[in-house]
Structures are given as C-alpha cells and as structure tokens.
Structure 1
Amino acid sequence: MGISQGWSRGALANRAGGSQCASGGSCCGSGAGPAGIPGTEGIGDDKPGAFTGWDTPSNYSGAMRVYLGADHAGFELKNRIAEHLTATGHEVVDCGAHTYDALDDYPAFCIDAAKRTVADPGSLGIVLGGSGNGEQIAANKVPGARCALAWSVETAELARQHNNAQLIGIGGRMHTEAQALAIVDAFLATPWSGEERHQRRIDILDEYERTGEAPAVPGA
C-alpha cells in the first residue's frame, strides 16, 4: 500500500486544516503545518537538520501524497497536474496560489509546499512558475529540501534515482501540458536508487547544511 492509501481526500483536507480547492486537491491550511498527518510534527520549526527528508524504501508502490505550489505563471498547469494526479489515485494538497493573480510572488507558495513535503516523509512536491528556476531556488531554502529543476523525463528520473529529490520545479511556460504531465509521472514513478555513492554525496550536503562547515576540497 502506498503512503497515501487509506486517506480520503476529505479526511486529508480536514487533517491539514484546509478545504477542498478548485484544483481538485486539498488546500494547505493557514497554520504552520498539516496537523494530524503522521510525520509532520514540528513543521514550521526553521531549524537546520530538523527533518531528514525522504525515507521511503526504493521498492515503494501505490498512491502518494503530493504537495503543489505555484505562482501565476504556473497556476493553470498546477491545476491541471492536480486533476491528473487525483484521477490517477494520488492525494493532492494544493499550497496555492488558489486564485489567479498576475502580480503574485512565488516564494510563499513554494516554501510552503517544500516545508510540508519535507515534514511529511514519503510524500513528494512539485513547484511551478514560468521557468521553474526561482521556484526551485525558493524550495531549496527550506532545511532538508532537495528540489531539482526537471526539464525532461530523464532529468525527473535522475532527480529521484541519484539525488533522492523530494521535489521538482517545472516551468509552466517551458513545456506543453503533455510534456509536463510526462515529467510529473516519471518523477512519481521513479524510486531512489539508494546507491552508496549517491547517499554519500547527499550526506555531505546535509552535513554542510547542518553545521555550516564546507567539505574539504580534494587536493587543496
């Protein structure tokens, strides 16, 4: 059974302190975190190292909980992705924007989606904007978040296989709808490889994030 099986959309909305969104998923609440969802205790505590991130085995299967965040440039694609994921059995939590505003700013939506994803082990997140660049940067400001810019099916797969990314950024103005949905499907379907060399590199980054001490440069 996947991480999201057994959670009805209504129950998820109630536990998250949110309501049903126009996108078809549950809305992120106005509080600090999705209260009541296992593994989310302490969300909003901006302490480096507070969360360990993805810990789902490499042989996971089934439906997943997916947090979405987008500004005006990714608004329509976010809603389409939410519909697609809901139709394929996944749990969607929409962290905004909930209405179209051509002057809105991406950081709030992307940081919220990233915080909730990191605090909910086994979930994934997707942040969207015009290019996905700023959205990826915003998500990566969250301690413990690993957000990759996915601009193809292959980069989405590698983000999971090699980087154990919990989130991806997608540019809403860079892809057709079909291309974007293929990227999303590849990201959700691809497991973390768990290879030692990749885990070692992630551990180096985690240590730097936790301590602020840069790794030694080989040969320096």
Structure 2
Amino acid sequence: MDPDNAVVRLCGEGMRAEAEGRTDDARRLFTEAWDAATDDYEACVAAHYLARHQETPEDVLRWNVECLERADEVGDERVRGFYPSLHLTIAKAQRDLGDDAEARRHYAAAAERVADLPAGPYGDGIRFAVAEGLRATGRSDLDGPPELETLVARLCARADLKALGLLLPAHLGNLGSQEDWTRLLTAAQMVHASRSLPDEDQELLGRALGAVTALVVAAQG
C-alpha cells in the first residue's frame, strides 16, 4: 500500500494507536480514514480496519462485507491479497452469529485464495485459521490418518520440537488440496528419513506414510 496515501497513512496511525492500547484514538483514526476515502480502494482499506473496532458480531460482519464489496469493485492486483483474510473474518463473524453454513462458505472461499498470500508467518496464520474453521464447520476430510494423529499427539506430549517443526505446519495448514496432501507427505517423509524417533513411533510413522500416500493419490483423481 502507498504510504503517501492519506487513507493509508491514517490507518497506519490507527494501527500504532491500537498497538499502544489507545483504542479510542485508533477508532477515531480509522473513522477519519473512512470519511476521507475517495474511491473503492481507499474505502476497502478503511473498512477493513474499522471492522476491527466494532462491538457486535453484526457490525463486524457489516464492515467486513462492506470491505469485500469494495474489493470486488476494485478488482485488481491491489486487493488480491486481501481476500483470504476478508473471507476468514466474515466466516468468524458468521460463526459468532450462529450461521455455520454461511461461515463454511466463506472459509472455503478463503481456502481458494490462500495461495495469493506471501510465504511466511502471516500467510501461515491465515492458513491455519482457515483450516481450523473448515474443520469446526464440518470438513472432516482435512484430518490426517489416525496413525498420524496419534503420532502428533505423542510428539506434543514429549515436546519433540524437531519433528513437530517439520510436521505441524503441513498438518495444521492442510486445506485438502493435492498440494496440501503432498506437502504433508513430504514433511512426514523427512521425519521418517531422519530416523530420530523411537522405534515404535518410527513404525507408526511408516504406516502413516502409506495412508497419506493414498490420500495424495485420491486427491489427484
């Protein structure tokens, strides 16, 4: 975003106020940004931040829907990376309002756009939240095979950080695509190849590899 843009600058000041605990100042600055917006792009940016400071799920939803509609009006590369977060926040608001079906639709829309996010902690955080939301609203097909679930629980219990560091990003961020299952398979293969697990867990992981391989093949079909 252009740091010289007046709306972007006001939103940046609002974020600093929010980080410093000055909630009222943050809300005022975001409102000023909304009032200063002169086109759909600026209104989209301001609405995104205003949504963060609403007190009811209804108002959170209203401002995020406003943001989504403005992004659709912009329709270019400037807003491409907004969509995963936008659909995620709308889904959360829908869940708070008890509409899991509509929430699931927006979680699915977010999942379709996560590839537009840059690699790194922000993108991973969005991916994890989307996967969690999909599971919570009925997508049972995102879980790994029972052998993998058991292994992850054992690794967590003994704080095996090396193995968890390889497995958890792919496991928690699995959105059910062929690429996601392949990513999980690759992570499991790396752990298996390290031969760092106790014999019982190594054997369990071997069986999990077979099950994940079958899921990759199924996703290809």
TM beyond 0.5? no
TM-score, scaled to structure 2: 0.30
Which structure ranks higher in relative contact order (CA pairs < 8 Å, sequence separation ≥ 6)? 1
Q: For the pair shown, which has the larger CA radius of gyration, 1 or 2?
A: 2
Q: Which protein has the bigger helix share?
A: 2
